[in-house]
């Protein structure tokens, strides 16, 4: 592959101000600057140009994975991460680089007016470099978005399984959302661990927030109830809504051996009476 000519580099250096101005207007035209501060974008474009000139100056080839391009890769990673957090999409982010092509090619065309074959060669070289930088940006952008999604998933999983203590020896687990195998596993583990930690004798699982109960969910519930019984505690299931009760009966699910209550208040009352406690009105 043909190397980049020194004179191309000279052309870049000479036209820096013009290049930056054209680049910015091209960014603006494509809508990639929306929601971003003008000052910030201008700073980023000029930083990028400086870095690319420095990289070419040092004689780095068009292979962006080479160590000579470390600095520019880091710059782009930072840039795409910040764009991802600002909620920009991948196209807008990648446009930052691709919008540079127009002004750059125009400048080169101007410079190599009298030598078309050299112009084509140089254009190909620079185009490849910019393309791979653009791809790098998109890859980083995607990675940071995926990291955000993964973190949110984990947080959701943690948030959705709070074990609350209702009374001395009575724990409650208000379940919200669909029950799948993974969630049941997390729920079961955190509830069982809390039973051991607090020495609670009764656990109430409230399924008011569970939208539907099918055979799989019922099986998960039964597993949890059995595990609690094996540990030596009792389990009450509360919050069985009329529709859910109907579904359970229609499906012919066997919930025998499981104590169920219509609401959490009834379940707490039962739990207290099992502990030998009773509530009386003061005064």
Partner 1 sequence: MERIPILQMGDFLLVTIQVDMHDQLALTLQEDLSERISRTSARGVLIDISALDMVDSFIGRMIGTISGLSRIMDAQTVLVGMQPAVAITLVELGMTLPGVSTALNVERGMKLLQDWVSNQ
Instruction: Name the site residues for partner 1 (rule: CB under 8 A).
Output: 185, 188-189, 192-193, 195-196, 199-201, 223, 226-233
Q: CB 175 → partner 1: shortest distance, Å?
A: 17
- CB–CB of 188/175 below 8 Å? no
The residue among 227 and 264 lying less far from partner 1, judged by its C-beta, is 227
Q: CB 160 → partner 1: shortest distance, Å?
A: 19
Query: What's the rounded Cα separation, in Å, for the pair 33 and 88?
Result: 10
Query: What's the rounded Cα separation, in Å, for the pair 105 and 110?
Result: 8
The residue among 14 and 229 lying less far from partner 1, judged by its C-beta, is 229
The residue among 242 and 257 lying less far from partner 1, judged by its C-beta, is 257
Query: What's the rounded Cα separation, in Å, for the pair 144 and 77?
Result: 9
Q: CB 216 → partner 1: shortest distance, Å?
A: 15
Structure tokens at 3: 């190397």
Decide: helix, strand or coil at residue 204: strand
Q: What residues does 167 pair with on adjacent strands?
A: 170
Q: CB 257 → partner 1: shortest distance, Å?
A: 9
CA dihedral 32, 37, 39, 45 (to 10 degrees): -30
The residue among 84 and 217 lying less far from partner 1, judged by its C-beta, is 217
Kindly give, in sequence order, each residue whose CB lies less than 8 Å from that of residue 195, ignoring residues fewer than 6 positions away.
171, 203, 228, 231, 233
Query: What's the rounded Cα separation, in Å, for the pair 226 and 3?
Result: 72
Structure tokens at 85: 């957090």
The residue among 27 and 188 lying less far from partner 1, judged by its C-beta, is 188
Structure tokens at 71: 């600095």
Q: CB 32 → partner 1: shortest distance, Å?
A: 51
The residue among 64 and 202 lying less far from partner 1, judged by its C-beta, is 202
Structure tokens at 54: 């420095």
Q: CB 237 → partner 1: shortest distance, Å?
A: 16
């Amino acid at each position: 592959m043909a190397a980049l000519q020194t004179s191309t580099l000279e052309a870049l250096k000479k036209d820096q101000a013009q290049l930056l101005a054209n680049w910015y207007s091209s960014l603006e035209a494509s809508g990639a600057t929306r929601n971003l501060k003008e000052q910030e974008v201008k700073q980023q474009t000029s930083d990028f140009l400086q870095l690319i000139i420095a990289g070419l100056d040092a004689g780095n080839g068009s292979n962006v994975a080479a160590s000579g391009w470390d600095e520019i890769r880091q710059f782009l990673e930072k840039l795409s991460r910040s764009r991802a957090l600002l909620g920009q999409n991948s196209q807008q982010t990648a446009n930052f680089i691709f919008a540079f092509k127009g002004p750059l090619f125009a400048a080169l065309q101007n410079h190599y007016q009298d030598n078309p074959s050299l112009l084509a060669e140089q254009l190909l070289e620079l185009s490849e470099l910019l393309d791979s930088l653009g791809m790098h940006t998109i890859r980083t952008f995607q990675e940071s978005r995926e990291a955000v999604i993964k973190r949110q998933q984990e947080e959701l999983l943690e948030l959705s399984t709070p074990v609350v203590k209702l009374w001395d020896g009575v724990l409650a687990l208000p379940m919200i959302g669909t029950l799948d195998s993974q969630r049941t596993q997390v729920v079961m583990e955190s509830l069982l661990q809390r039973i051991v930690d607090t020495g609670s004798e009764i656990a109430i699982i409230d399924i008011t927030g569970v939208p539907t109960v099918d055979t799989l969910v019922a099986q998960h519930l039964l597993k949890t109830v059995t595990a609690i019984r094996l540990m030596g505690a009792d389990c009450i299931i509360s919050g069985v809504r009329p529709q859910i009760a109907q579904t359970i009966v229609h499906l012919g699910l066997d919930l025998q051996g499981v104590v169920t209550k219509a609401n959490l208040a009834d379940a707490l009352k039962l739990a207290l009476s099992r502990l030998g406690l009773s509530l009386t009105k003061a005064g």
